[in-house]
């Protein structure tokens, strides 16, 4: 079977199963406000791309899974870079948010609480305030430590469900593309795959329709980082660690601010886009003037 047919088959399976699952969930009357049910949906949703990779490669085509999907547990320094880079970007996003005219510093984490008002009941909000006030240290440090722990354990496992597909299978399928073109195409696919969850209120509860566009931009900006980590670490596990840690620490970007909305502040908002763009420029400078590889201006196949 030709590569393009393999890719098309994977994409059809992934989108049909993912969108169908989300559609059934919505028809049952649930949305993002049903926290437990939505968490279960989200966790299941994340594994669908990996399951579809297995179906296509192992069941349909009888191909080897590990050899050409960059699955390697040989630890190197890029695993540690993957673990730390997203929390650093979250803190940078927090700092950039404070430069916006309608955003102020808030040690009481009113911005975080405001974000959850769209998803929780008044009683749950009050309980959240009480729990935050009772903490012995600021919740941002607890979030950081918990996020770093989750990022290399349970969150990395969940993120692997996506990364095996996006930075594993698709990176292999698009290896004859340039680094930037592959990043754009994979990022776009990854972004629109999120659409049903976003429309139900995930990440952008105040603006779910515009949120689909915002999520797609976010995925396009993050994808070059994850691809770079995958190539440098010679393992998609590095991307899974970065992805998992990002999911666990993204809340840091809104914890100490008040003002703005889900389109302007936070990792998934405009301030996050600015932070990601700055880091992408930094990675490009490193790649072109410090690293020997020059990955970002060549075809992916040169390094696989």
How do residues 146-159 score in pLDDT, each as one tens digit? 999 999 999 999 99
The overall average pLDDT reported for the chain is 93
The pLDDT of residue 125 is above 60: yes
Note if the pTM is more than 0.95: no
Residue 119 pLDDT level (bands cut at 50, 70, 90):
low
Q: Give the pLDDT mean for 285-294.
A: 95
Q: Give the pLDDT mean for 154-174.
A: 97
Report d(CA 295, CA 232) in Å as an integer: 9
Report d(CA 268, CA 18) in Å as an integer: 22
The pLDDT of residue 68 is above 90: no
Residue 175 pLDDT level (bands cut at 50, 70, 90):
very high
Report d(CA 118, CA 16) in Å as an integer: 29
The pLDDT of residue 111 is above 60: yes
Q: Which of 45-59, 77-91, 120-134 has the lowest mean pLDDT?
A: 120-134
The pLDDT of residue 11 is above 60: yes
| Residue ranges of domains in the chain | 72-303
The pLDDT of residue 28 is above 70: yes
How do residues 200-214 score in pLDDT, each as one tens digit? 999 999 999 999 999
The pLDDT of residue 2 is above 60: no
Q: What is the pLDDT of residue 1?
A: 46
Report d(CA 225, CA 297) in Å as an integer: 14
The pLDDT of residue 115 is above 80: no
Report d(CA 41, CA 34) in Å as an integer: 10
Taking the CA atoms of residue 198, residue 180, residue 236 and residue 40 in that order, the dihedral angle to the nearest 10 degrees is: 0
Alpha carbon 91 to chain centroid distance?
A: 16
């Amino acid at each position: 079977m030709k590569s393009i047919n393999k890719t098309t088959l994977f994409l059809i399976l992934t989108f049909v199963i993912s969108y169908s699952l989300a559609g059934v969930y919505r028809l049952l009357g649930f949305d993002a406000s049903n926290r437990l049910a939505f968490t279960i949906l989200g966790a299941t949703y994340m594994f669908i791309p990996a399951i579809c990779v297995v179906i296509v490669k192992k069941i349909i085509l009888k191909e080897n899974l590990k050899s050409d999907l960059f699955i390697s547990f040989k630890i190197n320094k890029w695993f540690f870079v993957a673990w730390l880079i997203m929390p650093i970007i979250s803190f940078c996003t927090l700092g950039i948010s404070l430069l916006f005219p309608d955003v102020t510093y808030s040690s009481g984490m009113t911005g975080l609480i405001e974000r959850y008002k769209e998803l929780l009941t008044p009683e749950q909000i009050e309980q959240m305030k009480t729990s935050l006030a009772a903490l012995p240290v600021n919740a941002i440090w607890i979030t950081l430590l918990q996020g770093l722990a989750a990022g290399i354990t349970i969150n990395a496992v969940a993120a692997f469900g996506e990364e095996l597909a996006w930075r594993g299978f698709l990176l292999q399928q698009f290896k004859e593309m340039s680094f930037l073109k592959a990043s754009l195409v994979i990022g776009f696919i990854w972004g629109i795959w999120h659409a049903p969850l976003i429309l139900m209120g995930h990440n952008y509860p105040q603006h779910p329709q515009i949120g689909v566009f915002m999520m797609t931009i976010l995925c396009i900006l993050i994808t070059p980082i994850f691809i770079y980590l995958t190539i440098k670490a010679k393992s998609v596990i590095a991307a899974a660690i970065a992805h998992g840690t990002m999911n666990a620490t993204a809340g840091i970007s809104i914890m100490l601010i008040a003002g703005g909305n889900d389109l302007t502040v936070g990792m998934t908002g405009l301030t996050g886009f600015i932070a990601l763009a700055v880091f992408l420029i930094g990675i490009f400078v490193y790649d072109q003037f410090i690293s020997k590889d020059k990955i970002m201006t060549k075809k992916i196949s040169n390094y696989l």
